[in-house]
């Protein structure tokens, strides 16, 4: 019988796992090396979607994650951190159009909501878009997608856990683990915690935590650069994936801008992260080309987050077969998956079996490759 669980990390996954555990009556300690929601969760595009995710099991898990957000927001009086405005996407090249057609065809085959819009239909949804930036037709619209405000989501989930007896230890990193049938966790402060189970929700630091437990978790983390504008009187109501810029609202009249190209402009030297200003200016310029009302916008802040991406791109979730006191909740797409997958992981920690859903995402899938290397 599991009584005390240590959850390592207080981002979207850690908060979701802690809320799931505490709601089921477990005694929970959340350990965070910095501030809650202060890592990847504070610098994420946080787009909720299952748009082109493969294989089918990953798509289905993401769809369930979207539904979990919808249900949570509906039952919380002030659950307005969840915004289901849909997502618009179009391409500028023949190859890009072909890829988009294939993606739409695949998700429609899966039963996922998607349809094609004309320029006029897009402008009815986003009237401040420059019509000349849009193709005449073949704009893909995914109406059930959206975005979350991750810091507020983390706040709600942690408050739920704390109201049910959980405790939070912040600014105190895990430096040692002793895992067998039970666990001993030692922190930077010198505190030593004993627990019946540990859940690794450490995001980009999940490999280090796994190593302390004697496990080799292969990751290929990347940096993500996000550009936040000053408040502007421009109507943007949904996620937009244009060929030269991706954007969404970010509250208070601000917009959040991103491209894959600007990610490459981030460099780390001597522990400090810098982003080339020219790349930032180029993204803002692309946003102005798309929404002329952004001409007076300035860059209010630039944030760089480290995306936790397991080596094969898929989530790592649930129990470890040879180490039953150790569990994972680590993935890219944490904004989409965390509420649903985190709750499933919490249930497994307490003895439920969710192999039907979590089976494809077990840690053990890496073992043959690791032993061969």
Indicate whether 77 pLDDT > 90. Answer: no
Q: What is the pLDDT of residues 111-128, one digit of tens each?
A: 999 999 999 999 999 999
Q: Which of 196, 216, 201 is nearest to 349 (CA)?
A: 196
Indicate whether 369 pLDDT > 60. Answer: no
Q: What is the mean pLDDT of residues 14-41?
A: 96
pLDDT at res. 370: 47
The structure tokens 């979350």 sit at 148
Q: What is the pLDDT of residues 323-338, one digit of tens each?
A: 999 999 999 999 999 9
Return the CATH superfamily for domain 222-307: D-Amino Acid Oxidase, subunit A, domain 2 (3.30.9.10)
d(CA 102, CA 114): 12
User: Residue 146 in contact with residue 83, Cβ under 8 Å?
Assistant: yes
Pick the more confident residue, 144 or 3: 144
* All structural domains of the chain with their residue ranges: 4-47+150-218+311-372, 87-143, 222-307
Q: What is the pLDDT of residues 138-163, one digit of tens each?
A: 999 999 999 999 999 999 999 999 99
d(CA 56, CA 120): 33
User: Residue 39 in contact with residue 170, Cβ under 8 Å?
Assistant: no
Specify the length of the chain in residues. Answer: 373
d(CA 333, CA 314): 9
User: Residue 261 in contact with residue 246, Cβ under 8 Å?
Assistant: no
pLDDT at res. 229: 97
Domain 4-47+150-218+311-372 CATH (choose: 3.30.70.100, 3.40.50.2300, 2.60.40.1930, 3.50.50.60): 3.50.50.60
Residues 6 or more apart from 282 whose CB is under 8 A from it? Answer: 261, 262
Indicate whether 97 pLDDT > 80. Answer: yes
Indicate whether 42 pLDDT > 90. Answer: no
Residue 203 burial class via C-beta count within 10 angstroms: exposed 0-12, middle 13-18, buried 19 and up: buried
pLDDT at res. 272: 86
Q: What is the pLDDT of residues 219-272, one digit of tens each?
A: 999 999 999 999 999 999 999 999 999 999 998 999 999 999 999 999 888 878
pTM of the model: 0.95
Q: What is the DSSP string of 199-248?
A: EE--GGGHHHHHHHTT----B--EEEEEEEEPP-S----SEEE-SS-EEE
Indicate whether 180 pLDDT > 90. Answer: no
Distances (CA, A) of 116 to 54, 86, 102, 137, 174: 21, 13, 13, 8, 49
pLDDT interval class at 373 (50, 70, 90)? very low
d(CA 36, CA 9): 8
Whether the domain at 4-47+150-218+311-372 and the domain at 222-307 fall into the same CATH topology = no
Pick the more confident residue, 42 or 341: 341
Question: Rounded mean pLDDT of the chain?
Answer: 95
User: Residue 122 in contact with residue 143, Cβ under 8 Å?
Assistant: no
Q: What is the pLDDT of residues 264-291, one digit of tens each?
A: 999 888 878 899 999 999 999 999 999 9
Q: Which of 266, 259, 363, 371 is nearest to 311 (CA)?
A: 363
């Amino acid at each position: 019988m599991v009584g005390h669980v240590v959850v390592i990390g207080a981002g979207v996954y850690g908060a979701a796992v802690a809320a799931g555990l505490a709601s089921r009556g477990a005694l929970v300690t959340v350990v965070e090396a910095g501030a809650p929601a202060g890592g990847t969760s504070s610098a994420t595009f946080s787009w909720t979607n299952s748009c082109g995710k493969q294989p089918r099991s990953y798509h289905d898990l993401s769809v369930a994650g979207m539904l979990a957000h919808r249900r949570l927001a509906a039952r919380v009086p002030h659950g307005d951190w969840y915004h289901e405005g849909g997502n618009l996407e179009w391409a500028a090249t023949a190859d890009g159009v072909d890829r988009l057609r294939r993606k739409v065809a695949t998700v429609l085959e899966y039963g996922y909501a998607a349809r094609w819009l004309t320029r006029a239909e897009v402008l009815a949804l986003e009237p401040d878009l420059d019509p000349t930036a849009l193709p005449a037709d073949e704009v893909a619209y995914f109406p059930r997608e959206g975005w979350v405000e991750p810091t507020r989501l983390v706040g709600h989930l942690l408050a739920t856990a704390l109201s049910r007896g959980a405790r939070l230890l912040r600014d105190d990193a895990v430096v040692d683990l002793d895992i067998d049938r039970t666990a001993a966790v030692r922190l930077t402060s010198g505190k030593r915690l004993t627990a019946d189970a540990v859940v690794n929700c450490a995001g980009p630091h999940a490999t280090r935590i796994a190593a302390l437990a004697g496990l080799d978790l292969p990751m290929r983390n990347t940096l993500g650069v996000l550009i936040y504008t000053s408040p502007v009187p421009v109507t943007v109501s949904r996620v937009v994936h244009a060929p030269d810029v991706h954007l969404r609202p970010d509250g208070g009249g601000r917009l959040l801008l991103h491209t894959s190209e600007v990610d490459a402009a981030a460099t780390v030297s001597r522990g400090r992260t810098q982003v080339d200003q020219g790349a930032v200016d180029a993204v803002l310029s692309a946003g102005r080309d798309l929404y002329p009302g952004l001409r007076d916008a300035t860059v209010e802040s630039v944030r760089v987050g480290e995306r936790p991406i397991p080596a094969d791109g898929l989530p790592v979730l649930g129990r470890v077969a040879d180490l039953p006191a150790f569990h994972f909740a680590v993935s890219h797409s944490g904004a989409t998956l965390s509420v649903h997958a985190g709750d499933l992981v919490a249930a497994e920690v307490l003895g439920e079996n969710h192999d039907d859903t979590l089976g494809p995402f077990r840690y053990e899938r890496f073992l043959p490759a690791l032993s061969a290397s």
